[in-house]
Structure formats: structure tokens, C-alpha cells
Amino acid sequence: MTAGAGHPDRHRREAGGFETLAIHAGQEPDPLTGAVVPPIYQVSTYAQDGVGGLRAGYEYSRSANPTRTALEECLAALEGGARALAFASGMAAEDCLLRTVCSPGDHVLIPHDAYGGTYRLFDKVLSRWQVSYRPVHLADAGAVRRALAERPARAVWVETPTNPLLSVVDIAAVAQACREAGALLVVDNTFASPYLQNPLALGADAVVHSTTKYLGGHSDVVGGAVVVSDPELGERLAFSQNATGGVAAPFDAWLTLRGIRTLPVRMERHGLNAARVADMLSTHPAVTGVLYPGLPGHPGHEVAAKQMRGFGGMVAFRVRGGEEVAVAVCGRTRLFTLGESLGGVESLIEHPARMTHASVAGSPLEVPGDLIRLSVGIESGDDLLEDLRQALAH
């Protein structure tokens, strides 16, 4: 038995509203000292009471660590899953999931629009192990059905809203198509966070997160997670995670859990500020289009309104004058920091084509050069609007 697999609290389901779970799930006061926050168990191994006599199911920290367990229990509760596994990064989580469920010869449908690193994983790494992929317009459930009929797929990989174009996929509709075709549905829920969207409740089999983003929320830790509804798949993932070793370190798990406690209030404020930014950009003469699912004109607005509790903090927009203008605007903001990543309390701006999505250049997932992506933070909304106005006024 691997440590953690037999941990008595491992599959315990917590009750309560989302805000309560964010603060309490997996985070009971420490039984030894009463510490109200789970301690950082900065330890690699655990004393055994006789060979195989594990005290609380812990054996070695690659297999399981109490701080990581606390984070995993909280993530499982927030996504309504049976089991969560915390990884060293979002990419480690994706890689572990895909190598657990796919074998050489398997085929996966991927989005037409997705995080560049996910595309790179399929295109440059998994393809060498004979896992093939095909980009499909996943916002069109009919296209998904047709693609699955043409060639059976082991899995369908959905991102919604997508990075960076903020496209929205109807999770329940794609889940139905996947069930009929016997394909596993994976949803990358990074942009929404579990506060705004719970894909497992909509029929997905697995949720992945870059916890680096909204879950951590403070741009101070890199991490990832997989959450599943089927305990048996959870066991297989735990086996793979232990076998391949891309686990979240104790301090990283602790920082992520610290961020999660304020996820609900942060997401509310991200959403308020993003809506104001999207409204302002929509009428700005230097802007040719705004991509934000909260705007009634967005093609995915109705689906987003149905499956999300809010529209999130990510906004993308296109500028008049093309790529050079977009790059120049990215360099002119004072409050929005020019940088990769997203989901922290501070606002960020970036040019996807040259930064986060450089790896999709020349592929079907290529992004427009005149596109700018904003991660709208929780600063004063007035200051954010003023900063963008001055950056666009040239």
C-alpha cells in the first residue's frame, strides 16, 4: 500500500458552501498542536512502528505528504470530485493525466484554441509516443460528434474559457457526445477556477488546473492539479503520480492552499473589474474587438451564463493597426505589468503571439498578432481603466 492511499480521511466528503469549503476542507486544526492552518510538513520520510507500521498512512513524501493531502482534499471538495492530486505544475498534471489514460496508438481531440503549452505537449512530446491529436472547434458539439464518429478518440481535451481567445465550450453538450462515443472528457478549468465553474458536475471525467493561476492567486507559486469523479481513475492517477514523481512540494502546497482560502472574494472582484475593463474597451476607438464571455455579443455568452457563476477576470482584445501597435500598447501600461501568467491579484498584460503562445505559431492554433491579453487584477477599477486609456491613447 502506498502512503496516503489508505489515509483514513482520504475520501471523506466535506459539506458546506463553497466559501466554507475553501477555508475548511482538508484544513481541520492540526490534531497534535491545534494549529489552525495545516503545517508545512517539510519532510521526506516518516518513522514506522515496525516494518510497514505507518502511523497515518504516510511513508515517503513523493507518495504522499500531509500538507499536500490537505491541498488535495480541499481541491477535491471545491471541484466536487472523489479525488484530487496536486502536482509541481499544471503541465506536470496534464502530462500525468494523459500518460495515465492514453496508450500508444490512442487519439485525442484538442481545442482549436488552447494554452500553447498544452498544444506543445501534444505536438512535440506525446506525438513521439504515438498519441495523435486533432484540433476541433469544440464550441460546436456537432463538430465534436462528427470527429468522434470519423475516428474514435480516447479523450477529448476541453479548455473553457480558452487561453487566450476566451472561447466558451458547452461542457454538458460535449460530455454527452463523449459518453456516446466512450471518450473521456477532460476540462482545463484554469481560467474559470472552481469558484466559477465545476466541470465534473456538468459531466466531465477529469478537471485539470494550473493552480499557479487563480487558485494560488498571488503569483508566488507554480503548481497543478487533476481532479476526478471516479475513485478508480483517482487510484490509477495516484499510482502514476508516485511512479513519475511530479508532485507539489510541501511549501508550494501550503502557499496554494493559503491562496485558495480567499478564492471566492478574489474571483468576485476580478469579475467586477474585468467587466468594467471589457465595457470600456468595447467603445474605445483604438480597439477593433473585445473577447470577454460576459459581453452579450460574445458568441459563447449564453453558454457561459448557463455553466459559469460569473465570467472571470480574463479579457482579450484586438487593436487597430496590427501586431506592432499591439506590442507597443503592451509596453506602455504602467499599472498592468507586462508579463506571462495570469490569475494573480495584480493586473498583467501580454502579447500572446510573441509570449505565451509563441509555441503555436504556424499551427492551427496560431493566435492573431493584433491580440492583447489582460489578466485583470483586483486593484482599484478606476486606476485600471485609466492605465489602459493612457496606453491606448497614442
Ligand X SMILES: Cc1ncc(COP(=O)(O)O)c(C=O)c1O
Which of 312, 263, 268, 270 lies closest to 74 in space, CA to CA? 263
Q: Does 89 bind ligand X (CB under 6 A)?
A: yes
Identify which of residues 115 and 292 has a Cβ nearer to ligand X in the complex: 115
Contact criterion met (CB below 8 Å) for 314 and 298: no
62 is an active site residue: yes
> Mask: binding to ligand X, 306-345, rule CB under 6 A, as x and -?
----------------------------------------
User: What sign does the dihedral 186-89-57-60 (CA atoms) show?
Assistant: positive
Using the contact rule CB under 6 A, the part of the chain among 114-122, 125-133, 136-144, 307-315 near ligand X is: 114-122
Instruction: Give the strand order in the sheet containing 184-188.
Output: 83-87, 224-228, 206-210, 184-188, 155-159, 107-111, 132-136
Nearer to ligand X, 81 or 111 (CB): 111
CB of 211 to ligand X, least distance (A): 7
Query: Is the CB of 28 or the CB of 340 nearer to ligand X?
Result: 340
The Cβ of residue 49 has, within 10 Å, a number of other Cβ atoms equal to 8
Q: Which stretch binds ligand X (CB under 6 A): 7-15, 110-118, 234-242, 268-276?
A: 110-118
CB of 344 to ligand X, least distance (A): 12
Of the ranges 87-95, 126-134, 145-153, 289-297, which one interacts with ligand X (CB under 6 A)? 87-95
212 binds ligand X (CB under 6 A): yes
Query: Does 115 sit near ligand X (CB under 6 A)?
Result: yes
Catalytic residue flag (residue 115): yes
- Told to check if 241 binds ligand X by CB under 6 A, we report no
Active-site entry in 115, 133, 195, 292: 115
Q: Out of 10, 68, 120, 213, pick the active-site residue.
A: 213
Catalytic residue flag (residue 140): no
Rounded to 10 deg, the angle between the 263-282 and 381-392 helix axes is 40
Would you list the DSSP string of 109-140? EEESS--HHHHHIIIIIGGGGT-EEEEE-TT-
Q: Does 91 bind ligand X (CB under 6 A)?
A: yes
Q: Is 210 in the site for ligand X (CB under 6 A)?
A: yes
SS3 314: strand
CB 136 within 8 A of CB 109: yes
Locate cell 466559501: which residue?
19
Residue with cell 502579447: 351
Contact pattern for ligand X over residues 147 through 186, marking x by CB under 6 A: ------------x---x-----------------------
**Residue in 123, 304, 101 with CA at minimum distance from that of residue 186:** 101
- Give the shortest CB-386-to-ligand X separation in angstroms: 27
Of 175, 172, 171, which is closest to residue 191 (Cα–Cα)? 171
Assess 54 for contact with ligand X (CB under 6 A): no
Among 67, 160, 190, 229, binds ligand X (CB under 6 A): 190
Q: What is the spatial distance between Cα 99 and Cα 254, in angstroms, rounded to a whole number? A: 27
> In the complex, what is the shortest distance from the CB of residue 121 to ligand X, in angstroms, rounded to a whole number?
9
The set of cell numbers assigned to 62 is: 513523493
Chain residues that interact with ligand X, rule: CB under 6 A: 89-91, 115, 117-118, 159, 163, 188, 190-191, 210, 212, 222, 224
Catalytically active residues, by annotation: 62, 115, 188, 213
